[in-house]
A and B are shown apart, each in its own frame.
Chain A
Amino acid sequence: GAVVSQHPSWVICKSGTSVKIECRSLDFQATTMFWYRQFPKQSLMLMATSNEGSKATYEQGVEKDKFLINHASLTLSTLTVTSAHPEDSSFYICSARVPLSYEQYFGPGTRLTVT
């Protein structure tokens, strides 16, 4: 199946700093990528839909100025957590949708810890 990578796999940052997470589709072009947040022992919460060449669509309750999403190419989407706070600590997972298909492939996730 298709491969999606995320970088970094884990990151620790200080409160008030910004962190960028990359999501890449390695062997296919993805016009649509998704960003999820997962709390311990809970399901995935969709944060936003990232569309190549246009603005991301954020889910209700997700602050777009805090979670900046850029999808500048068909193989790369980035999520930047700005002015991070301890409550932003979580597991962030991206997925990429195969064009003209319902299938999504997930990245391995990024563990963010804000101290």
Chain B
Amino acid sequence: GDSVTQMEGPVTLSEEAFLTINCTYTATGYPSLFWYVQYPGEGLQLLLKATKADDKGSNKGFEATYRKETTSFHLEKGSVQVSDSAVYFCALTISSGSARQLTFGSGTQLTVLP
């Protein structure tokens, strides 16, 4: 079945540090890939997405590139802020599925210290 493997956390960084959260996937079809962010006590918000190989999703300084050859979708940000502290989830959906359910990774807790 489809699955997403995320880098285990928690991750603690100082403000302005470089962030990478690794994400790899296995899928039976051709997936669309997503990063979601969850702030404490809240639901999930879509951070960025990519729907085909070599697409780069970007938002709020975060970027991730859909790499089909390595089945990866790593999240990066050049300079993190305290406000980026949250849990980040990598996810995929198979575009051919009728329900288009999301399959989530386990989540990575990020804490940014001032």
Residues of A within 8 A of B (CB): 1, 4, 6, 32, 34, 41-44, 46, 49, 57, 93, 95, 97, 102-109, 111
**Which residues of chain A are near B44, meaning CB under 8 Å?**
44, 93, 95, 106
Residues of B within 8 A of A (CB): 32, 36, 41-46, 49, 51, 89, 93, 95, 99-102, 104-107, 109
Q: Which residue of A lies closest to B98 (CB)?
A: A32
Q: Are A43 and B105 in contact (CB under 8 A)?
A: yes
> How far is A76 from B59 in the complex, measured between Cα atoms in Å?
30
Q: Are B101 and A34 in contact (CB under 8 A)?
A: yes
With known contacts A102-B51, A102-B100, A104-B102, A43–B46 Cβ distance under 8 A: no
A-B interface pairs (CB < 8 A), number: 52
> How far is A43 from B32 in the complex, measured between Cα atoms in Å?
19
Q: Are A109 and B43 in contact (CB under 8 A)?
A: yes
> How far is A95 from B100 in the complex, measured between Cα atoms in Å?
12
A-B contact pairs, 23 of them (CB 8 A): A4-B43, A6-B43, A32-B99, A34-B101, A34-B102, A41-B107, A43-B104, A43-B106, A43-B107, A44-B44, A46-B101, A49-B99, A93-B43, A95-B44, A95-B102, A97-B100, A102-B95, A102-B100, A103-B46, A104-B100, A104-B102, A108-B42, A108-B43
> How far is A103 from B36 in the complex, measured between Cα atoms in Å?
12
**Which residues of chain A are near B107, meaning CB under 8 Å?**
41-43
B37 → A minimal CB distance (Å): 11
> How far is A49 from B51 in the complex, measured between Cα atoms in Å?
22
**Which residues of chain B are near A102, meaning CB under 8 Å?**
32, 51, 93, 95, 100
**Which residues of chain B are near A32, meaning CB under 8 Å?**
99-100
> How far is A59 from B39 in the complex, measured between Cα atoms in Å?
26
**Which residues of chain A are near B49, meaning CB under 8 Å?**
103
**Which residues of chain A are near B41, meaning CB under 8 Å?**
109, 111
> How far is A105 from B45 in the complex, measured between Cα atoms in Å?
7
> How far is A32 from B100 in the complex, measured between Cα atoms in Å?
9
Q: Which residue of B lies closest to A50 (CB)?
A: B99
